[in-house]
Amino acid sequence: MKLFNPVGLGSTTVSYAGLLEKIEIFRSMLRWAPKLERGDIEKLLNQANTLRDDVMQLSRKERFVEAAELEPHAVSAPELTARMRRQALIDRSFIFEGTFGDNPTLLAALEIAEKAAPTDLPVLIDGESGTGKELMAKVIHANGSRPDKPYISVNCGAIPDNLLESELFGHKKGAFTGASSDRKGKFESAHTGTIFLDEIGELPLSGQVKLLRVLEAHEIQRVGSDETIAVDTRIVAATNRNLRQMSEQGRFREDLFYRLSVIHLTLPSLRERRDEIPLLFSYFGDEAAEVLKRRPVKMTPKLREFLLNYAYPGNIRELRNLIYRISCLAGDVADLHHLPEDIRPREQLALATVSALNRDEDSGEGIQSTSAVPISLSEAKRAASDEAERAFLERGLLETGGTVAELARRCEMNRSHLQMLLKKHGIRSKDFRHQSGTASGKGEGPL
C-alpha cells in the first residue's frame, strides 16, 4: 500500500505546517485503526515518520536557501564594522566572559562560537599560547545549553601517561597500586556539562584511542571495571599545535582530529591585532586597578613606546601580566625599570644590575658584602645570568600555567634539573597555577 506521493514536495507552494498537520492526523488514525494487522500499522507508521522527517528537512533547506538568496542584498559580514558586529552580539545577549577586542578574526571566532554553543557539536580551538583559548572554551560553555552544569577543565599535557586513563575515566578500588577507593574521572564529573580538553595535542597516542572511543560511544569504563557508564558531555578541545600537520605526520590520530574539529576556531595572535594594543592597555589597566584597589597606572612615553612595539610571544596573557605587574610595582607612573628583566631594554638591564649590586654593597648584604672593591666583570656576568635564569623560569611557568612537566618538555630539560633550578631561585610552581574547574573568567588576577 502506497501512502503518499512524494512528487510535489519540493514545491514551495506547499504549506509545511499544513502538511505536517495532515501527517500527524494520519499517524494517529493509523495508530488506532481497528482493522489493520499490527505489523502493517507499524510499517505504515514508519513510512509516515520518514515522510515527516523529509518534510522537516526540506523546510530547513528551504529556509537556508531563502537566507542565502537574501544575502546579496544584506550587508555581508566583512562590510559590517567591527563595532556593529560586536553590538549585534551584545543585542543577541551573547556572553563574552570578558573577551575583549574587535579584531575581525576574533569577532569571526565569537560569531562561530555563538552558533556552535547551543549545539552539542565538538569544538576545537587553536591558536598560539596566551591567545585566549581557555577563555573561548568558557564562552562556549556560558552561551551553550548547559551553562549551569559542570565545566571541567583537563590539561592533557600535565597528566602522566600512566595516570591518564584513571584521570579521565576514573577507577575502581584496587584497580592498581594506590587505588584505595572508587574514583570518578573527569568525564563522569563533566556529565551533563562541558569538558575542556586543554593541550589536546599533548595527549599520547594510547590516550587518543581511548578518547576516540568515548566520542563514538558516549560511554566510559572506569579502570578495573567492566561496567560501562553513559556520559553526556559536550567536548571542547584546545591546542597551540597544528593538529592537522601532526596527524599527517602520524603523531595525532586523523580520525580523532576530525571528530574533535567539527567546529574549528582559530584565535589570532597579538601580532595580528597590534592596532588593539593601546585599547588592551586601558582595558587591563582598569581591570588591574580594580583588582589591586588603586588608580589606573600611567606610563612614561618610553615605556608606552616599548610596550607598543614589543613582540608579545605570550600574546594577550603576556600583555595582561605586564600591565598587572607594572600596576602592582609602580606608583602613579610606570617606567621601563618596572618591566621584567628578561624583556627590559639592554641599557636598562645593565643599569638595574649595577644599582642592585650597589644596593647590596650599601646594605652590607649579598654578593658584594665582603668586599669593598668594585664588582668584577665575571661577577656582573654571573649576576646577570642568574637574573636571566630566574626570569626565564618565571616566564616559562607563567606560560605553562605553573606546570613544571610541561615547561620541562617545552625547553627539553630534565624535570628534576628544572625542579632544582626552581628551588635555587625560591620559585614555587603553584604560584603560577591556572585556576580551573570554574566557568568564571574575570577578576582572577593575571595568569
Ligand X SMILES: Nc1ncnc2c1ncn2[C@@H]1O[C@H](COP(=O)(O)OP(=O)(O)OP(=O)(O)O)[C@@H](O)[C@H]1O
Q: Which is nearer to Mg ion, 99 or 368 (CB)?
A: 99
List the single partner that 99 binds among Mg ion, ligand X, none, CB under 5 to 8 Å by kind.
ligand X
What angle, rounded to 10 degrees, do the helices at 104-116 and 82-91 form?
20
**Which is it for strands 228-230 and 263-266: parallel, antiparallel or unpaired?**
unpaired
List the single partner that 336 binds among Mg ion, ligand X, none, CB under 5 to 8 Å by kind.
none
Q: Check if the beta carbon of residue 81 is closer than 8 Å to that of residue 264.
A: no
Q: Whose CA is closest to 260, among 274, 241, 279? A: 241
Nearest-CB residue for Mg ion: 134
Q: How far is the CB of 208 from ligand X (least distance, A)?
A: 19
Q: How far is the CB of 317 from ligand X (least distance, A)?
A: 4
List the single partner that 269 binds among ligand X, Mg ion, none, CB under 5 to 8 Å by kind.
none
List the single partner that 399 binds among Mg ion, ligand X, none, CB under 5 to 8 Å by kind.
ligand X
Residue with cell 611557568: 397
Q: Which is nearer to ligand X, 29 or 279 (CB)?
A: 279
Q: How far is the CB of 198 from Mg ion (least distance, A)?
A: 5
Q: Which is nearer to Mg ion, 134 or 361 (CB)?
A: 134
List the single partner that 318 binds among Mg ion, ligand X, none, CB under 5 to 8 Å by kind.
none
DSSP character at residue 92: T
Q: Whose CA is closest to 196, among 159, 150, 127, 131? A: 150
Q: Which is nearer to ligand X, 85 or 320 (CB)?
A: 320
Q: Which is nearer to ligand X, 269 or 353 (CB)?
A: 269
Q: Give, for 426, the enclosing helix (H) or strand (E).
A: none
Question: For binding to ligand X (CB under 6 A), which residues are involved?
Answer: 98-101, 127, 129-135, 240, 316-317, 320, 399, 441, 447
Q: How far is the CB of 181 from ligand X (least distance, A)?
A: 32
Q: How far is the CB of 412 from ligand X (least distance, A)?
A: 18
Q: How far is the CB of 31 from ligand X (least distance, A)?
A: 53
Q: Which is nearer to Mg ion, 134 or 387 (CB)?
A: 134
Residues 6+ apart with CB under 8 A from 148: none
Nearest-CB residue for ligand X: 132
Annotate 190-246 with DSSP letters as a single string. TTTSEEEEETGGGS-HHHHHHHHHHHHHSEEE-BT---EEE---EEEEEESS-HHHH
**CA dihedral sign of residues 313, 274, 276, 114:** negative
Q: How far is the CB of 124 from ligand X (least distance, A)?
A: 13
Q: Which is nearer to ligand X, 47 or 266 (CB)?
A: 266
Q: How far is the CB of 320 from ligand X (least distance, A)?
A: 5
Q: Which is nearer to ligand X, 166 or 240 (CB)?
A: 240
Question: Which grid cell sits at 254?
Answer: 586523523
Question: Which grid cell sits at 300?
Answer: 612614561
List the single partner that 143 binds among ligand X, Mg ion, none, CB under 5 to 8 Å by kind.
none
* Alpha carbon 166 to its chain's center: 23
| Distance of alpha carbon 419 from alpha carbon 148, whole angstroms | 39
Question: For binding to Mg ion (CB under 5 A), which residues are involved?
Answer: 133-134
- Long-range contact list for 372-376, CB < 8 A, 24+ apart? none
